[in-house]
Amino acid sequence: MRKRWLELVIGVVPVAILFVAFMGINVLPLLFAMMIGAVLFLAISGKGKLAAMPGGAGRSESRIAPLSFDEIGGQERAKKELVEALDFLVKREQIEKLGIRPLKGILLSGPPGTGKTLLAKAAAQHTDSVYVAASGSEFVEMYVGVGAGRIRELFKNARAKAKKENKSSAIIFIDEIEVIGGKRDGGQHREYDQTLNQLLTEMDGIYGNESPRILLIAATNRKEMLDSALLRPGRFDRHIEVTLPDKKGRLHILNIHAKNKPLHEGSDLASVASQAFNFSGAQLESVMNEAAIYAMRENEALITNKHLTMAIDKVMLGERTDRETTHEEKERVALHELGHAIMAELLRPGSVSQVALSPRGGALGYVRQHPQDDQYLYTKRFLESQIMVALGGAAAEEIFYDERSTGSRGDFQQALDLVKTLVESGLTDLGIVDADMITKMQWSKVTGAILDDLMQRTKDMLQEKQDVFRTSLHILMAEEQLSGDEFRNLLNRNSAA
């Protein structure tokens, strides 16, 4: 019916305009008004960015491949919480007997790349629900009321799709919910305030006895930005934290992405999982993909440990560059990196994985370290040791050149961040303080005192290892890299002597 009306309008309107022009009437204002009307119609009806009308072809209409929770690695706790929250869609009779109010919304929060979208898709598969997805940015337009209209159409579309496919439930997934769900400051009325108000209204209109049932799942990596009205019980009833995977979770993710890749029998994914501390699921997938690319570049049929190590460096630091340096600059970089490596091994034995002199990203050289075990709580001694490792490069330059270079800028920033952690954790002479109440002069005084003391301790420790510097420098300049085991052998040999 709508198509027939559209064809009728297209046929009649041009004839009417020509007739009016023939009568000598100025038709420019009429044409201008029709253009504005057409733009508003297309925007409000959703034919533009979102296309959430039934029968549209936007993201909300995309069909997803079946995805189960077993295919998502590294998020066992989040998966368990989510499955429990989905019971009201699966165990309807049981929750009715217990008088449980069905959930309306589930909020997934956590760093980018941790699998929030995958969890939402698996939730739809687990509950045999229609899956309708959209991004928060798709609801924001310059025209007032457009976002609110698209929210209405999104929920209407989800119900229509569920009925069409004979499903008893529908899951609506909104990514980047903070775009439309940000805190309202009570100031000037904004277009996306109307969008948020409409979203709250739609969530209030979700009832337990309706058919099909609607569940809203939203994802954000900035939960602190969300409006309190959106977070309260009765709207988003469950807040599930989707964190970076631990060592066991990283190994699970690597094994999932290794299923379709030819690994050499000597490939050690457990070692990769250990070295990839703080990697997200997306980064781990990229490690496996980059390793396969390196194998292809070398015309190798199998992916080896060498390819996996190169892939970790690529994901962590960027692609190797062809930047050329002078011999003197290369030697300074080598001594700088050896300073980091020696301090790391002295303070945390076994932590150095590789010392490299090849430029990657913005770095002329690097030391890759990995923790023996995942660690989430830090003592004062541990943080001070991390600061000393960061200062090791600058200390080595001072020992051999009596001056520093700009290559230490990133190291100093890392050291300052660690000092800030010490202060905010009450681990300095200031005691337990509110960091916001500390003046700039106090910050400068405490930071200077800590860094001066740790820099002197670092230089004293490195002065005793000058033989290690000279022996390692010769090999590093020639081969441009030292494995962790090779470096530890050199360190132990010189220490025994």
* pLDDT tens digits along 115-151: 999 999 999 999 889 999 988 888 776 555 677 888 8
pLDDT at 283 over 80: yes
For 487, the token pair is 């470096």
What is the per-residue burial (b if ≥16 Cβ within 10 Å, else e) of 14-31?
eeeeeeeeeeeeebeeee
Among 154, 146, 281, residue whose Cα is nearest residue 217: 154
CATH class in words for 52-241: alpha beta
Q: Please tell me the pTM assigned to this model.
A: 0.73
Looking at residue 47, its pLDDT comes to: 45
For 337, the token pair is 């990196």
**Cα–Cα distance for residue pair 153/78, rounded to 1 Å:** 30
Cβ count near 40 (within 10 Å): 13
R_g (Cα) of the chain, nearest Å: 30
Q: Provide the 8-state DSSP code for 408.
A: G
List the catalytic residue out of 337, 345, 384, 397.
Answer: 337
Looking at residue 61, its pLDDT comes to: 45
Among 251, 349, 365, 243, residue whose Cα is nearest residue 308: 251
Amino acid at 163: K
Bigger pLDDT: 284 vs 356? 284
Q: How many CA atoms lie within 13 A of 208 on its CB side?
A: 13
**Torsion angle of alpha carbons 149, 151, 155, 158, nearest 10°?**
100
Among 397, 406, 411, 398, residue whose Cα is nearest residue 367: 411
* pLDDT tens digits along 324-353: 778 888 899 999 999 999 999 999 888 888
Cβ count near 398 (within 10 Å): 18
Looking at residue 247, its pLDDT comes to: 87
How does the average pLDDT of the chain come out, rounded?
Answer: 82
Bigger pLDDT: 23 vs 218? 218
Residue written as tokens 């000598």? 24
| Per-domain boundaries in the chain | 2-43, 52-241, 247-317, 327-496
**Cα–Cα distance for residue pair 219/177, rounded to 1 Å:** 6
C-alpha distance from residue 347 to each of 341, 400, 462, 480 (Å): 10, 22, 12, 24
CATH class in words for 327-496: mainly alpha
What is the topology classification, in CATH, of domain 247-317? Helicase, Ruva Protein; domain 3 (1.10.8)
Note if 337 is an active site residue. yes
Bigger pLDDT: 6 vs 272? 272
> Which H or E element spans position 120?
helix 116-127
